Amino acid sequence: MLNSGISVLFEGTNFLRLLEGLFETLRVALIAVVISIVMGIIIGIIRTSKNKLVQIPFRIYLELFRIIPILVWLFVIYYIVPANFGLELSSELVALIVFSLWGAAEISDIVRGAIISLPKHQVESSKALGLGVVQMYRYVLIPQATKRSIPPMINLITRMIKTTALLTMIGFVEVIKVGQQIINVNNLEHPTVSFWIYGFIFFLYFCICFPLSRFSRKLEQKWAT
Amino acid sequence: MKKNYLLLLFLAVLTLALAACGSSESNSGDSQSDTTSSIDEIKERGTLRVAVFSDKPPFGYVDSNGENQGYDIVLAKRLAKDLLGDESKIEYVITEPQARVDLLKSDKVDIVLANFTVTPERQEQVDFANPYMKVAVGVVSPNSAPIESVEQLKGKKLIVPKGTTAETYFMKNHPDIELVKYDQITEAFEALKDGRGDAMAQDNALLFGWANENPGFSVALPTLGEQDYIAPAVKKGNTELLEWLNTELEALGKEQFFHKAYDETLKPAFGENIVADDVVVEGKVEE
């Protein structure tokens, strides 16, 4: 009984299709992560400003992405925006926009937190040494803040990879959707197929996310000493 | 204090955004009529965009080689062939049940062919063409004690899955029949096998497939109550494509296209005991 399900995995191009689905998942997640990191660091530095006019708009931006579920953002940008403004966006582009904006918001908060948590004397000493603002960030603040922000950033990246599962809702075929397609076609003949397919998807996600979280733990331990 | 400001500001932004959506929604209808002919647009693009299911065999699914297959897909291919001269000129947009209306509204697809049942609520949001399939409530029962009419159900236990049309139908029309309700369809089927009820009611298309896989059971009462129709849908106000579809469906009906499609895709799943006429509509409603 159990074996009949696993044969489905290797039937036709099923195996290849699952890997292709995984590739799509990773492509969107990784492009979004790169954009998020660049945008997040810039916004994070801007947000250390004490000016209320600078703080409030970015704060609203961050809260919008924290409070409203990503699924709702995907729906709004994919279905509602084109219907009302005549903008034609592919599902992949919508995915990249939403994930990059979300990632940038979260990373900006991580970076801001890391910079603010640095002892005040770091800023004062740099000024006393005669460093300009750019030099102060480049040589003093950012190197130290990076250490503090990389573990939470890796955490966020694994979350982003896992959240791509939502993309099926806007017609983007990623690894989980491919799995469901295979399961529903073979369900009657092989009742255990869902166990094998979901098990395999679990294994794929594990292969990607576990090394990442191990890496972040290693870094944490290394920098703690 | 600061939190309150933020909340207010946030609410203000949200209201504005929602207002913008609400007001422009009313115009989207007439902006459609200004655009050039929708059929020319499809021809210019060279592909017909069709929303289909990818995980609902035998209606719309993806086979082991990654190809779209099923009853809906057979029709989609034929439409592309007759409109664009080549059945491969289709862009399949994979959809989920709850996204079908929005796909049309936001112009992501030209036609929805995804087991889309015609309901009054949906008719307000999209335009349905002539039907190509019909569904109704059916009753499946063991061959040893077949249920062939509603009268036979009096004093017996009938299994229904919660939230289905079958449940509403029996509660409204035959309140005297005792119902045994289950949350999930698979559970309900298991209950029937275990003999926790004398029969089970559900959408007949689903029952046909199940009875075929489970010897010892058959759909002795295939249709009950209101017929529901399954039809292709287009964006509201897209009359040109709608009229083209209707003439096309009627022409296909004359050549018994849907019976052929039934034999090809649904028959293997439903089995020999089901008559195609219980499921298939040849391009228009026969009165």
Q: pLDDT tens digit string along B53-63?
A: 888 778 888 88
What gap in Å lies between CA A183 and CA A5, rounded to an integer?
Answer: 9
Q: Which domain holds residue B217?
A: 135-228
Structural domain harbouring A201 = 2-224
B28 in a structural domain:
no
Domain for residue B283, yes or no? no
Q: Is residue B172 part of a domain?
A: yes
Interface membership of A83 toward B (CB under 8 Å): yes
Q: Under an 8 A CB cutoff, do B64 and A12 touch?
A: yes
Question: Given the structure tokens 């200004």, which residue do they identify?
Answer: B34
Domain harbouring B50, CATH code? 3.40.190.10
Residue B24 located in a structural domain: no
Within-domain flag for B15: no
Indicate whether B111 and B128 sit together in one domain. yes
The answer to whether position B262 is within a domain reads yes
Contacts of B127 by beta carbon, 8 Å cutoff, 6+ apart:
B233, B234, B235, B236, B237, B238, B239, B242
Q: Spell out, as residue ranges, where chain A has pLDDT lower than 50.
A: none
**Is B128 found in the same domain as B40?**
yes
pTM: 0.74
Whether the per-residue pLDDT at B26 is higher than 50: the answer is no
Instruction: Give the three-class secondary structure for B216.
Output: coil
Residue B88 maps to a domain: yes
pLDDT per residue as tens digits for the range A82-140: 777 777 788 899 999 999 999 999 999 999 999 999 998 998 999 999 998 889 988 98
Residue B127 has pLDDT above 50, yes or no: yes
- Cβ–Cβ of A84/B24 closer than 8 Å? yes
Q: How many domains does chain A have?
A: 1
Q: B128 and B248 share a domain?
A: yes
Q: Which residue has the tokens 């491919």?
A: A178
Closest in A13, A83, A186 to B66, CB measured: A13
Q: Are B181 and B98 contained in the same domain?
A: no
Cβ atoms of A174 and A168 within 8 Å: the answer is yes
How far does B154 lie from chain A, in Å, by closest CA?
32
Q: How many domains does chain B have?
A: 2
Domain of A107: which CATH number?
Answer: 1.10.3720.10
Domain presence at residue B80: yes
